[in-house]
């Protein structure tokens, strides 16, 4: 008689325990999924803000380089200030990249800054800028479509 009473209790206890463990696992899985969704959205937003800002900075750099106002030193200072302000935006994007892509992104951004050195010829600048645009686009696509 004791065995009959114990069996339903063990079954009920086991079922309750499994239900609790399943619920806890579901909560953890949902939390992780929501976090990954949030991270993808934030990464997407950061990249979407960065691309037009990169174009804007390139145009501003060209305006400074070809400006007839001020002397060479003044234009050099203006270019340096523009580059420093843009680095803030680069650092935000860098936060959303994995370790390997951060190193690539740093090199790409150095190439972009080098392209706007006043001593660079316009044809070379255009080629360098085109390569940077392609590299940034590929890097962002890889980051947005990766499972990391």
Q: Enter the tokens of residue 99.
A: 């370790």
Between 59 and 28, the more confident residue is 59
Contact 131, 111 (CB under 8 A): yes
SS3 147: coil
Query: Of the given ranges (6-10, 13-17, 62-66, 142-146), which has the lowest mean pLDDT?
Result: 6-10
pTM for this entry: 0.67
Residue 5 pLDDT > 60: no
Residue 12 has pLDDT above 80, yes or no: no
- Alpha-helical runs (H) found in 66-148: 72-95, 99-115, 122-145
- Classify each residue of 105-139 as buried b or exposed e, where b means 16 or more C-beta atoms within 10 Å of its C-beta: beebbeebbebbeeeeeeeebeebbeebbebbeeb
**CA separation for the pair 116, 111 (Å, rounded):** 9
Average pLDDT of the chain to the nearest whole number: 85
Looking at residue 49, its pLDDT comes to: 93
Handedness of CA 21, 25, 30, 32 (dihedral sign): positive
């Amino acid at each position: 008689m004791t065995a009959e009473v114990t069996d339903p209790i063990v079954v009920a206890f086991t079922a309750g325990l499994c239900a609790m463990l399943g619920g806890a696992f579901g909560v953890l899985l949902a939390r992780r999924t929501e976090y990954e969704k949030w991270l993808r959205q934030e990464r997407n937003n950061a990249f979407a803000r960065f691309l037009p800002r990169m174009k804007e900075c390139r145009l501003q750099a060209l305006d400074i380089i070809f400006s007839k106002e001020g002397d060479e030193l003044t234009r050099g200072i203006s270019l340096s200030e523009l580059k420093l302000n843009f680095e803030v935006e680069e650092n935000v994007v860098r936060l959303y990249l994995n370790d390997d892509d951060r190193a690539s992104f740093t090199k790409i951004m150095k190439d972009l800054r080098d392209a706007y050195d006043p001593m660079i010829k316009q044809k070379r600048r255009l080629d360098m800028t085109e390569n940077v645009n392609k590299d940034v686009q590929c890097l962002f696509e890889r980051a947005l479509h990766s499972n990391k």
